[in-house]
Structure 1
């Protein structure tokens, strides 16, 4: 069964990554390399726990939402948690040497599972995309969320940049068209513009997290293809978000309603994505002002979440997106401040949240969510990446 094979691969990789060299070699080994070996071990151990306890292992290539399961739980996880397990596996394939290469079969399995959510018939705008729950015969589909689709598209871009896979790029381009179809073009709305969060009729919010990842996807596609349309859309998305969801403290609010009411909460991932967007815009245009904007959001968010002690109040899976975009920024701007903060956070989760018996991260003290486990795999894996590779992170 796949779970058993995955566990065997990971166990072998852990032994490879952590095999003790001679004492003299350890003494000469740079501190950063020793730290990277620790992150590799933790990433793989956390992944093995995810596979052991949260992988469905029934031939579906899908996951459970929580472990242990509750009677009211659905058979499989929703798309957003699945996509983060997909990204976690993708991040693991970027580990140095043959450690990452050993997980290529697992990544192929994630791609099979990802397609269980694909709605080829299209949602309310007539364009295909990923539903929020697996489609028949594994489930009944569900509402389509633009941010759910953007995370998958950004992962596809990351895979394309790492491997040159043309199919991954084509799917990212296809999803970009879905995102653009979610743009609010009704001039009677307050603050017309922005990408809706979902196609579901019960929400008409336009969010930072549905608009700025669209911009990030657009800049990535422009950098790959050179097609001006992608950059134009990205700039349009950034301008709208800055106009309506940028707070006076330099951070981004969450969403705006059709009547103009603003949800003023600051979530960590809503700060991370703009850092990534502005970093990529600097690379796309060469204009220093974009790197300055990335630095300003990075510094403001670091002050808010780390210096002022709010980071642990936010979800692990939001924090992983924030941190990974900070690594993207440092890959261009230099520095180690944000990597050090990410490593300190990773240490704290390992020491204070992780259950040593299972290797799971039961953030609420009882059950482990797939979202949380996958986020910790991502954090440990990308901390283990060579610094130059973090330039392809979303």
Structure 2
């Protein structure tokens, strides 16, 4: 019976899943206009609504090309700070946007602002400029609007489809600071992957407000945590942040509650069993050694990760410099083809970015060692 079943399975025709979609994921969007070195500089920024202080003393600098995440419980001020950056609401402190910063903003309500009477194709055609206009069909196909779907009117689209369409329109606009507020809501896994890759390829600066751990992993290089009326900078990606917080997912930030409610029950038991306090007082001391050892191991891992980032950045610089030297040698030898100068310019830009990442990695390593008291 087993052999018969195996023969039947061998005769079944194989079906390739998502073959059409995955062939178009490698998508490049127009380069972002160059902004100043520091698109966002905040110094003591605060916001209150009446007696309620949402946050105060927010001080940070976002460097050109950085991709950062705003995380924290709902109501702690993530979207509020975004509105401050965009100049939509008043605030205290100082917040400065860098030279030539052009903001592209996406939130869930952006999908509702689309013109429902025009088609999907026309929606993108109206914002596309230059050579990208010849690739509108390919772009729509990559975002699951291939074939007849591009001729649908916007008003008949589902909520998720409108969200995807609004995202495409945003990514085609000439901006250099993308601010995305919960961009993955109502998106399926395939579209999330397409959007994530598009943002990774985007050469401008990105701020993402999200609770989606998988989406942020490998996308952001710095995390800002909102909580307790403060905004705290956490160096490293989303998994480094979760490790420091001892969390498995960002959703746990919503569920985390102070441990103080446990204390009254503990006190009640102590009054009914007077011989237990000595043992309970010794328990923290017994756990102290394990806690110190765990903290020490965590510090070592943090330093190793930071040192690895520096080493990877140095290796990347060396690789790009070698490729530049090879292209320059070909130019000097007269081996010039149609796009050799474009490749040389692109490598120069890659080298600038790699140098910036190396400098940032070095600064982060120094700051980490200083905070941990390591020479």
When normalised by structure 1's length, the TM-score is 0.26
Structure having the higher Rg: 2
Structure number having the greater strand percentage: 2
Q: TM-score, normalised by structure 2?
A: 0.26
Greater helix fraction, Structure 1 or Structure 2:
1
